[in-house]
Amino acid sequence: MRAILFDRGETLVHFGETNYDAGQNVILSSVRPLNALDRATFDRFEDEFFEKIDFYRHQANLECNLLHYYELLSRYFGVQFDKSHEELCRQYHLAAEDISPLPGAQKVLAELKSAGFLLGLVTNTSLPQSVVKAEFDRLSLYDYFDTVVCSSEIVFRKPDAAMFEVALRSLKVSPTEALFIGDDYHADIVGAKQIGMKAVWLNPKRNPTPGEVQPDYDIAGLEEILEFVEITRKV
């Protein structure tokens, strides 16, 4: 095994409660001319937009890049922002999201990296890759990764094979040389196994496997990965 790929949310980092008001304040305070967009109108627009986007995410497995959302917001209401759409997205994310590393995340990444593994991050997210980078930089996790693949850049979402294939090609490894670790059975385990990767299901609640596809290993905590990887290397 040469490469180990990780999911992001609830695998390496935990997402607390989203503070939508704080995020909206970032947007509304950036509108020019100031006060050209009121909160009630913005609320309706945002609710309708993300209701439609969620349909495509779950029914068609397609992703929206939030940079397009800010472009649409600007054009629909005929307003400008006092910062780039990318910076607006970064500041919204920083203000609204409560994100912290899961216990053992940095230790696991550091030990795998020092052992010589190539590491990849493969995440379903509407955030542009630059914002994911900023998030992981802030948590001191980004520098461990040799490649980062975001569905916002690929269009398709896991479990689509394209998400995994892009990461593997970037690392120049075959599916049989790679292991995927994630908490979402359908997106992470089924997705990885369908292209021939080994898959580790991070399953802290010890739920039964919900489908026919079996993970190669089922773990309750992130640090168990180190034991599993050591066993795998000896096989």
Q: What is the pLDDT of residues 129-180, one digit of tens each?
A: 999 999 999 999 999 999 999 999 999 999 999 999 999 999 999 999 999 9
Mean of pLDDT values over 55-81: 95
| pLDDT score of 14 | 98
Residue 115, pLDDT > 60, answer yes
Contact of 125 with 151, CB cutoff 8 Å: yes
Give me the helix-helix angle, 85-96 and 129-138, nearest 10°.
40
Contacts of 209 (CB under 8 A, 6+ apart): 185, 201, 215, 218
Mean of pLDDT values over 31-41: 92
| pLDDT score of 231 | 55
**Separation between Cα atoms, residue 139 and residue 13, nearest integer Å:** 9
Burial of 44 (0-12, 13-18, 19+ CB in 10 A): exposed
Query: In 10 A of CB 10, how many CB atoms?
Result: 14
Lookup: tokens for 207? 């739920």
**Separation between Cα atoms, residue 150 and residue 110, nearest integer Å:** 22
| pLDDT score of 233 | 60
**Separation between Cα atoms, residue 72 and residue 42, nearest integer Å:** 12
Residue 7, pLDDT > 80, answer yes
Residue 232, pLDDT > 80, answer no
Mean of pLDDT values over 4-28: 97
Closest CA to 6 of 210, 205, 187: 187
**Separation between Cα atoms, residue 204 and residue 40, nearest integer Å:** 40
Q: Which amino acid, one-letter code, is at 182?
A: G
Query: In 10 A of CB 55, how many CB atoms?
Result: 11
Lookup: tokens for 157? 């979402």
Contact of 200 with 184, CB cutoff 8 Å: no
